[in-house]
């Protein structure tokens, strides 16, 4: 992988993460305020979860490049940033599991009150943890910027 | 506008809950297990033949599939009772996992 492809994909990864988290706010709000489940509530949950999944897969694909091209230098320059990056990866998996779980449970059982509440909790937790993860990603990107 | 296709099975919710919590819980547990077993020197990062991040994900996916299959065996009534407790259990579990993920990078 070239440095240009890596840089392009890592920016796409960050943009997609933010867009997906913003999309997920719609089902969180509408599931709380409305009695029924509208077409757009289900669609934004699906799209947001698909975006979070795509973000995670891009990050997983980029990880070996980070490990080879950025991590050794970053370990020398700013070891705390590499630790923060690893924590971010752990949290990203948690966010992906919660977002995909929230959207799937809404589709498969959203008309049942207990499943609807489960879906709401999963989506809410995914957005809260996702915002923390995105902040960590921004911090690491700023620390690693001169590396490649 | 025609309404979206939405199911109403508590068992489906239990399957998703089991699989998602197993995926995240297994991944974090594997990371802790690895940390307890002793860390490789970070300066040898390029010499490591396997990427621990990837094998943890593969193992967690297997565990998630197994947990989801166990969720599918639950009777609807038991699944419904379990889901009622998810309102307090799930945020607590997420908090614990986030804390561990930050404490053990």
Residue B91: list chain A partners with CB under 8 A.
121, 125
Chain A residues within an 8 Å CB radius of B95? none
Which chain A residue's Cα is nearest to B44? A72
Smallest Cβ–Cβ distance between A110 and the set B6, B17, B53 belongs to B6
Q: Is A115 on the interface with B (CB under 8 A)?
A: yes
Angle, CA B18 vertex, CA A128 and CA B62 arms, to 5° = 105
Q: What is d(CA A114, CA B101) in angstroms, rounded to the nearest whole number?
A: 29
The percent of residues in chain A predicted with pLDDT above 70, rounded, is 98
The residues in A 13-72 lying below 8 A from B, measured between CB atoms, are: 36-39, 41-43, 60, 63-64, 67-68, 71-72
Tens of pLDDT along B85-94?
988 999 999 9
Q: Is the whole-model pTM more than 0.95?
A: no
Sign, CA dihedral A28-A29-A34-A40, equals negative
B19 neighbourhood in chain A, CB within 8 Å: 101
Closest CA to A13 of A138, A142, A148: A138
Query: Which ipTM value was assigned to this complex?
Result: 0.90
Q: Which of B22, B28, B31, B53 to mutate to test the interface with A (most CBs of A within 10 A)?
A: B53
User: Once rounded to an integer, what is the mean pLDDT over residues A60-80?
Assistant: 86
Using the Cα atoms of residue B57, residue B84, residue A106 and residue A137 in order, give the sign of their dihedral: negative
Asked if A84 and A75 count as a contact pair (C-beta separation under 8 A), the reply is no
The pLDDT tens digits for A71-109 are: 888 888 888 899 999 999 999 999 999 999 999 999 998
- The reply to whether residue B101 touches residue A67, judged by beta carbons under 8 angstroms, is no
């Amino acid at each position: 992988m070239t440095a240009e492809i890596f840089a392009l994909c890592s920016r796409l990864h960050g943009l997609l993460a933010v867009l997906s988290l913003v999309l997920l706010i719609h089902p969180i709000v509408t599931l709380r305020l409305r009695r029924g489940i509208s077409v757009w509530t289900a669609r934004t949950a699906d799209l947001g979860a698909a975006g979070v999944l795509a973000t995670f897969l891009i990050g997983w694909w980029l990880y070996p490049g980070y490990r080879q091209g950025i991590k050794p230098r970053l370990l020398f320059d700013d070891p705390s940033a590499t630790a923060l990056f690893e924590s971010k990866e752990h949290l990203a998996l948690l966010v992906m599991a919660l977002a995909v779980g929230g959207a799937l449970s809404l589709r498969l059982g959203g008309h049942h009150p207990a499943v609807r509440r489960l879906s709401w909790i999963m989506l809410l937790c995914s957005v809260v943890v996702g915002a923390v993860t995105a902040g960590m990603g921004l911090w690491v990107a700023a620390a690693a910027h001169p590396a490649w | 506008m025609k309404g979206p296709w939405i199911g109403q099975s508590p068992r489906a919710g239990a399957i998703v809950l089991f699989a998602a919590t197993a995926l995240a819980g297994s991944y974090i547990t594997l990371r802790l297990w690895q940390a307890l077993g002793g860390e490789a020197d970070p300066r040898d990062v390029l010499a490591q033949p396997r990427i621990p991040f990837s094998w943890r994900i593969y193992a967690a996916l297997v565990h998630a599939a197994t947990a989801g299959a166990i969720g599918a065996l639950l009777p609807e009534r038991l699944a419904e009772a379990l889901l009622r407790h998810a309102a307090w259990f799930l945020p607590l579990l997420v908090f614990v996992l986030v804390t561990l993920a930050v404490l053990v990078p």
